[in-house]
Amino acid sequence: MKEHADDVNEVHDLATFADPGHNVVTPVAQFDPEVALAVVSTLANIVTRAKSSAVATTPDADGITRSQVFEEGDVYMIEKPFDGFFADRYLMDFYDVTQRDLCSRMHLHTGLRFVRMMTGPDTRIRVGSLSPFAITDVPGVTQFTLRAFTDELPDTPEGVVRTRYNLVVPPCSFVDMQVPRGVSHQFNAIGPHAVIDSVHPEESVEVFREQMSGYRMMAQTVFLADELHSADACTDLGDVEA
């Protein structure tokens, strides 16, 4: 999938890209604001502590640096793969796109992902893809819905128009997303309290498959835009009540 295995800013041609599948999204639970804030803040603080840890910011005996940075936020590999277990788990503390006036780019990964998105008060996550989301809910079990809408992906090359499919994770909510390998997606948090708990069930496999030299989230990512857009490209929520 990667043209250059260790390139941390590889960009695929947006005009010819087609998703090989769909992201599947499941609303899980909503919480009282104080409960949601406690959970999200506790997880975000783990990521923050890792940024100032000499151990987490230095390659270990397996060459893994557990504190990393991605476009959407700071990342900490809370559980790493080992011989006989090829998955790992990351926590990501989102940047607030309104504070830095930048949106993350649409991208895809060289291996599948399982993502739990978590929001606190006054915070929403806008999720985008170039293919429609499959939103799962079970009557009598699922207690809330997700707002979905479409727009045009901004700043595409001249003559290229791509529909962007969007949904909004509301405040104080847990929402799961299954991301198949190679399927486009982007996350942008509007507000200060947003965290992702992400499991990568192919981590070791994809490193060997792509012939990468190490476990780096940016190297396991392929982007679909050359540059990050300003915040106005990802802060519209489709409805002010979202």
Q: Closest by alpha carbon to 182, among 107, 77, 96, 97?
A: 107
Name the average pLDDT for the chain.
95
Q: Is residue 18 part of a domain?
A: no
Q: Is residue 3 part of a domain?
A: no
Residue 242 has pLDDT above 70, yes or no: no
What is the spatial distance between Cα 165 and Cα 147, in angstroms, rounded to a whole number? 11
Mean pLDDT of 6-27: 97
Q: Is residue 201 part of a domain?
A: yes
Q: Is residue 146 part of a domain?
A: yes
pLDDT at 238: 81
Q: Closest by alpha carbon to 225, among 233, 215, 237, 236?
A: 233
Please count the CA atoms within 13 angstroms of the CA of 209 that sit on its side-chain side: 13
Q: Is residue 17 part of a domain?
A: no
Residue 219 has pLDDT above 50, yes or no: yes
pLDDT band at 133 (very low <50, low <70, confident <90, very high): very high
Low-confidence winner among 23-37, 156-170, 188-202, 225-239 (lowest mean pLDDT): 225-239
Domain count, the chain: 1
What is the spatial distance between Cα 79 and Cα 147, in angstroms, rounded to a whole number? 32
Contact present, 94 and 186 (Cβ < 8 Å) = no
Q: Is residue 13 part of a domain?
A: no
Q: Which domain holds residue 200?
A: 24-233
Specify the length of the chain in residues: 242
φ/ψ bin of 191: left (φ > 0), alpha (ψ from -120 to 50), beta (otherwise): left
Q: Is residue 95 part of a domain?
A: yes
Residue 204 has pLDDT above 90, yes or no: yes
Q: Is residue 88 part of a domain?
A: yes
Please count the CA atoms within 13 angstroms of the CA of 76 that sit on its side-chain side: 18
Contact present, 195 and 125 (Cβ < 8 Å) = no
Structural element, H or E, at residue 71: none
pLDDT at 162: 96
User: In CATH, what number is assigned to the domain containing residue 128?
Assistant: 2.60.120.10
Residue 79 has pLDDT above 60, yes or no: yes
DSSP class per residue in 142-200: -----EEEEEEPSSPPTT---EEEEEEEPTTEEEEEEE-TT--BEEEEESS-EEEEEEE
| Alpha-carbon distance values, 109 to 68, 164, 216 (Å) | 16, 18, 11
What is the spatial distance between Cα 186 and Cα 196, in angstroms, rounded to a whole number? 12
| Alpha-carbon distance values, 147 to 65, 124, 132, 157 (Å) | 37, 11, 13, 28
What is the spatial distance between Cα 143 and Cα 127, in angstroms, rounded to a whole number? 20
Mean pLDDT of 12-38: 97
